[in-house]
Amino acid sequence: MASTLNAAVSLTSSKSSSLPATSYAIAPDRIRFAKGAFNYKSNNVVTSRRMVSVRAEVTTTDTPPVKKVEKESKKNEEGVITNKYRPKEPYTGKVLLNTKITADDAPGETWHMVFSHQGEIPYREGQSVGVIADGIDKNGKPNKVRLYSIASSALGDLGNSETVSLCVKRLVYTNDAGEVVKGVCSNFLCDLKPGSDVKLTGPVGKEMLMPKDPNATVIMLATGTGIAPFRSFLWKMFFEKHDDYKFNGLAWLFLGVPTTSSLLYTDEFDKMKAKAPENFRVDYAISREQANDKGEKMYIQTRMAQYAPELWELLKKDNTFVYMCGLKGMEKGIDDIMVSLAANDGIDWFDYKKQLKKAEQWNVEVY
């Protein structure tokens, strides 16, 4: 839309003689007042010789609006559904399976559970669902929703698009007063029996959606139950057949846990590795049992440091996507690795990471 300024200008001399008012069409950006002062209350300009009164109105002419070019997402976003079910009106699913998947001597229990949703919660790999535990809180109100990353592909563990799976660690700890505290929702979920009802909300989230490019390099960084969204990725990549998707890229998983007995889904990952050795790599970081050459505990960033130059070269490609899920703070350890590598190429890592985020190639979900 273009605009012009119609200005009526009256000139008054210092001797009170007047000139007739004259109207002009003036472009707004051409109005200049030099060597004078403008009185905003009276719309007057006072110069050394005379007073100028300006009355102006802006008129517009229609021009075609500028079309906003929408950025096309690199992720599998098309048709994704969010918040179909909300806390006030959740969906009631059924528990089909609930089994402990960590060894008895593991420091803490982790459970894999499968719920039926009869096709009513059409989620996508990388999304989350909410769970509302039965009962009331300390204030006498219904328990609040708790979000969990989905651990199954969109087809579900049964392959019929009617189930959703979660990977949940039972939260039990001793507080400063010496009291044993149990997480409300995690214990509710881990104690569920097949046939029980469970209130579900969602699906939610777009941050962790898979890339559309079947030739992409997908680097997955997980600690503990942060493995959930990556199990959903990997099932779609290696265990399923799709008419519109066949993964031909590289999927590289780093999983950090405290002990070997805490490792999750290793049988599945072994089968994937055997099936597609050129397309799948997995590296474990077992902090209480492994160490690097310097004697440092093997955390996920410590394991990644052993492949740092290779990882940095991958991160310079526009079809490499990094996904991070797990404990808050894990990102800092990874930043520490990349800062010096980027600096060797004259690149500021934190600026570069911002570019990766903007390009949807750096995706983080931590808790």
- Which residues are known catalytic residues? 148-149, 325, 365, 367
Which of helix, strand or coil describes residue 107? coil
What does the DSSP 8-state code read for residue 355? H
User: What is the DSSP track for 255-288?
Assistant: EEESSGGG--SHHHHHHHHHH-TTTEEEEEEETT
Question: Cis link prior to 203 (omega < 30° from 0)?
Answer: yes
Known binding residue 326? Answer is yes
User: Is 341 marked as binding a ligand?
Assistant: no
Query: How far, in Å, are 82, 138, 151, 190, 237 from residue 218 at the CA level?
Result: 24, 43, 17, 31, 11
287 labeled binding residue: yes
- 176 DSSP assignment: T
CA 356 to chain centre: 12
Tallying the residues shown for the chain, one arrives at 367
- Cα separation of 121 and 162, whole Å? 8
Consult the annotation and say whether 365 binds a ligand.
Answer: yes
Residue 288 known to bind ligand: yes
**Binding-site residue ranges:** 149, 169, 225, 257-258, 287-288, 297, 326-327, 365
Binding site residue list for NADP(+): 149, 169, 225, 257-258, 287-288, 297, 326-327, 365
